[in-house]
Structure 1
């Protein structure tokens, strides 16, 4: 086994460690919200969106630290960040899906009721804008109402924010 294969395995191990760990933290946050009688799919769940980007940065930092003084290079650090983000998003989305299936329909219905109330309260603001009525209807229709939709929403948000931070992190940690 040559050093390139060994260093690639190390990069993948770091991404696995930080990515799966971040996904588990996100799922734990959803469970905590549920246990504290807070809407586990509501706005407070979005606080966990910051976990995958932080995990990607920590993963990139760990890869950089192991390749000092020469540095790992942009490609290896970018791989660590992207892989960490994807693993965190997949783990989190799978956890949200499983949680939604286990807890049943009641928390989802509660979430929909709360979100429709919030949308109705901001309807006047929507209508003031050009095309606001159509925008309001799209927002109402796009509310996640199945475990699959909740998991998809979770995956998309975490992947997007994680990837956005992976690229500047890779540039910063490349040397």
Structure 2
């Protein structure tokens, strides 16, 4: 599954600052133009646009979190597939690969916990947990890439698929924390 790239969208707290600045700028411009009768309408219109922008940014974050949850679930399933494929490796490679898969499993569990926390407490309250999970997922992916090169075709393929799921999850977590 190929993850699609999203364009950066303002988060709700950034959108609020932008909205406030836009409303003030419009109000000052209208007053400077000498048409105070239209000031209220222009400010109300700008405030509505700002509210719409904030709602859109919130929807974008929720969408990113939902995609991250899907990729976390897929990665969790790939952990077991990768672990099952390790039997064909020599003992030294199997030990290294098993450690990388265990780290990946822990990273996925951290991501799932952070996503559940974000759903329960709100995205902004969980930003640190999401960032920590993102960092752990990136580290686990790097470990898997190092081990995959020395693995055979069956185990290497399973490890590579797990790495791809971790990459998708990492991108989703990054999008959610912007």
Question: Under a length normalisation based on structure 1, what TM-score does the superposition of the two structures give?
Answer: 0.32
Kindly indicate whether structure 1 or structure 2 has the higher relative contact order, using CA contacts under 8 Å at least 6 residues apart: 1
Q: TM-score scaled by structure 2? A: 0.32
Flag the structure with larger Rg: 2
